[in-house]
Structure formats: structure tokens, C-alpha cells
Amino acid sequence: MNIFRFLVIFAALGSLTACMGYYQVTDTVNGTRYYTKSVKDLKSGAVAFTDAETGSRITLQKHTVIKLERNAYAEKVR
């Protein structure tokens, strides 16, 4: 039973860390670029995230998402 609990906890932590990173999200309608540490894919095909510069919660239907390295993210968000 202890091994089963360990595997469940390990799988849950692994799925959480897979969502974390550094991202540039571009609104393909107007070209606005946003930077965030977490992007959530919605069932509608949109993405939701919190903009690192303003702290605003944003949802975009038409978008592109690029994963960034930590240093590139740090240069963009100051």
C-alpha cells in the first residue's frame, strides 16, 4: 500500500512540474506578446495565463506559445 501511495504522489508532482516553465504567449490577432510562468490549455482551444508584467489574468483564443529559457524570460520581464 505504501508503494502505491508513493507512486500516486510522484505522478501528481510530475504532472505539476510539467506545467511550470517560462513562456512567451503571442496574441496572433494584434501581435501583443505576454510573458508568464504558467499556461493553462482550455477545452475551447484557448489558453489562460497571468501576465508577468501586469499581473492581469488573460485568456486568448488565437495564440502562439513559445517555451523560453530562464535567462531569456528574465531579460523580457524586468
Q: Cα separation of 64 and 44, whole Å? A: 15
Q: Is pLDDT of 9 > 80?
A: no
pTM: 0.73
Residue-level pLDDT at 50: 97
Q: Cα separation of 50 and 56, whole Å? A: 6
Residue-level pLDDT at 16: 47
Query: Positive or negative CA dihedral for 75, 66, 25, 57?
Result: negative
Query: Mind listing the pLDDT tens digit for each residue in 52-78?
Result: 999 999 999 999 999 999 999 999 887
Domains and CATH numbers, the chain: 20-76 (2.30.30)
Query: Mind listing the pLDDT tens digit for each residue in 10-30?
Result: 555 554 444 579 999 999 999
Residue-level pLDDT at 11: 55
Q: Cα separation of 14 and 46, whole Å? A: 24
Q: Which amino acid is at 69?
A: E
Query: Positive or negative CA dihedral for 70, 19, 64, 52?
Result: negative
